Structure 1
């Protein structure tokens, strides 16, 4: 009986079905929505439970699949491939944003730094580029490690007057 209802879901509405064209894509979209909820509300019970088990030292976007998996986690983890390309970071305090690996620049082509990597510590975070007293970019450091056009892009990014958390935002695709 269950196979009948599944086959009906993909039939057009005119034929008595629900009109889904691709159940796999629909399911992946719903799972991505759950992943996005975990990003938006990291204090939720669901996010805390998965964080404790699968990504205690990071965030969902950088989580590995792990072992001894819940089926739900395996499914949500698969949806990260959908979420990652559509997001970038909004600069707050700079503690969460990795200079070289994360998408944080206002350049729609990649949102990433393209300057060659400079030795800036083991895991260089954006915090190192922000003067904590004046809440301004440290232009002297920017000039040493980035291309000139990237320095201009970075200087155009506003830094909040009062430190706040970095925020992952959804980027609208322009077509």
Structure 2
């Protein structure tokens, strides 16, 4: 076998091509079939392989081509991140279809309480809003919160989006990340059921030698064995009616969440504990006597309490906010200022708008509440949409619009169609 030495420039060019393939925003071929079903290649493949279904439900068929087999191979990855974005809800089944905006699972997990043929539109009222009472009575708390966080788009069709990209579009980079993440989870799952290795046996010996009470050893053993009865486990076993954390009332109570992920439980205590442990390590390193673990824990709690008390006292001494003055519109017209906000205590959200003329005189103002479960970006876009309609109905033209949300303004000014969760709110803006 002969060996050829390639020039350094050629090697770098090959590396550049590979890097552009993996990390550019190029989209996959399978995604193109889903996003552009009327393209020539999509219509050819549909006529040949799936005349009565879509790409996601198609089979390999008789004597499939290499191209079709390659597309089917990548389709499994595409399925991991595709979910429905709700428009009018007529195309999406409540049970079975992926449409709930979770981190990984997009289907309803609770026991079906509605007919299996129910559509998402059955959860929407005649006025185009979520039926809060029906949703709260039908689904678990976490599922109801996730559903109510979906901004309704009005009389538009449902469409599929890629959950793991901000713009809702699949890219090679995001697909590569998802593939690695699921591979890691599969390896963890395989490791939990595999037989004990020499490394795991050594870990067990160290575990049982810990100088802690037996009840703590028993808890650690249950955690390592993955038999800790978190609310997520109890919910999947149909023992409890919900899987939401009883402290933060937001996330699922998994084992990791209950121990280190709950913001309400941990807050800043974890940071103070790390600081105390590092400080203790330095003290012992330079000759001081070790401190008992219980005293270290108490030190961390004391630091946390002292900091919270001082923060409350010094809240009024915070630095002054920069004075931002209103600027009149460039033309002799009107300026519309919009913004959204929420209440930290009650969780209520609302949007407001004010219209002034070129002299700064108040022309009109409006404020209203919005669903508290929607995202901040959805709230800003919702404010823009409602307020623009509000100003145009009053014939306030020419109109200059100002918002403090850079992302919302960029989405409105972008010429590219937005497939993100909040993209439907751009219709009519």
Flag whether TM exceeds 0.5 (same fold): yes
Cα distance in 2 for partners of 1:89, 1:12 equals 48
Offset at residue 13 of structure 1 (A): 7.5
Residue 103 of structure 1 is matched in structure 2 by 98
TM-fit CA distance, 1:43 = 1.3
1:12–1:19 Cα contact (<8 Å) kept: no
**Aligned match of 2:120 in 112, 126, 133?**
126
Alignment match of 2:15 (pick from 19, 22, 42): 19
Q: Which moved more, 1:139-148 or 1:103-112?
A: 139-148
Residue 63 to residue 118, structure 1, CA distance change in 2 (3 Å)? farther
In the alignment, the residues of structure 2 paired with residue 142 and residue 104 of structure 1 have an alpha-carbon distance, to the nearest angstrom, of 15
> CA 1:145 to 1:89, structure 2 compared with 1: closer, same or farther past 3 Å?
same
Structure 2: state its 5+ residue gaps.
166-173, 182-429
Q: 1:94 aligns with which of 57, 82, 89?
A: 89
Higher relative contact order (CA 8 A, sep 6+): 1
How many angstroms does 1:39 deviate by?
1.0
8 Å CA contact 1:97, 1:166 repeated in 2: yes
- Tell me the secondary structure at the aligned position of residue 136 of structure 1: coil
Question: Secondary structure in 1 aligned to 2:53?
Answer: coil
TM-score, length basis structure 1: 0.71
Partner of residue 151, structure 1: 144
Normalised by the size of structure 2, how large is the TM-score? Answer: 0.32
Query: Residues 114 and 82 from structure 1, CA distance in 2 versus in 1: closer, same or farther, beyond 3 angstroms?
Result: same
Following TM superposition, by how much is the alpha carbon of 1:97 offset from its aligned partner in structure 2, in angstroms? 2.3
Are the aligned partners of 1:90 and 1:168 in contact in 2 as well (CA < 8 Å)? yes
Q: Tell me what 2:54 maps to.
A: 59
* Structure 1, gaps ≥5 residues long: none
Look up the SS of the partner of 1:168 in the other structure. Answer: strand
Provide the C-alpha distance between the structure 2 equivalents of 1:145 and 1:101, rounded to a whole number of angstroms: 16
Equivalent position of 1:165 in the other structure: 157
**How many pairs are equivalent?**
158
Q: CA distance change for structure 1 residues 74 and 144 in 2, over 3 Å: closer, same or farther?
A: same
2:49 corresponds to 1:44 = no
Give distance in 1, aligned partners of 2:127 and 2:80.
Answer: 33
Superposed CA deviations along residues 144-163 of structure 1, whole A, max 9, x for unmatched, are 431133122212211112x2
Structure 1 pair 50/156, CA: closer, same or farther in 2 (3 Å)? same
User: Retained in 2: the 8 A contact 1:143–1:151?
Assistant: yes
Q: Report how far residue 141 of structure 1 moved.
A: 3.7
Backbone CA RMSD of aligned residues: 3.5
SS at match of 2:160: strand
